[in-house]
Amino acid sequence: EVQLVESGGGLVQPGGSLRLSCAASGFTFSDYDMDWVRQFPGKGLEWVGRTRNRVGSYSTMYAASVEGRFTVSRDDSEKSVYLQMNSLKTEDTAVYYCTRDNWGSLDVWGQGTMVTVSS
């Protein structure tokens, strides 16, 4: 079964840091680009960032709203992708989803992990 399982969410103060993890199973992880998407409390969805696969030189891209604060990385040997979030703001409060990027589409989603930024 193709599956993505996120972990690492929680409550953090503004200005703090958090690292999310996503473990993949059921498919050849190293073949795929992987993305993070977040869903705000009002339910809107925002693409956050992406790591390409080895063919894409593991390049990364970010939404303007998180550029310079968030970093996406991956470990193909662990079949995992990560989202390092620094300098967190209250507006980063959201459910964060790990997704598989498949040619202009996000065909597999994890269950999500909640991040709350609040003092």
Partner 1 sequence: DVVMTQSPLSLPVTLGQPASISCRSSQSLVYSNGNTYLNWFQQRPGQSPRRLIYVVSNRDSGVPDRFSGSGSGTDFTLQISRVEAEDVGVYYCMQGSHWPYTFGQGTKLEIK
Alpha-helical regions (H) of the chain: none
At 106, which amino acid appears? L
Of positions 55, 57, 77, 104, contacts partner 1 by CB under 8 A: 104
* Residue span 41-70 as binding mask against partner 1, x where in contact by CB under 8 A, dash where not: --xxxxx-------------x-xx------
Site stretch for partner 1 (CB under 8 A), options 16-24, 71-79, 82-90, 108-116: 108-116
For residue 58, give every residue at least 6 positions away whose Cβ sits within 8 Å of its Cβ, in sequence order, or none.
51, 52, 74
Residues making contact with partner 1 (CB under 8 A): 35, 43-47, 61, 63-64, 97, 103-107, 109-112
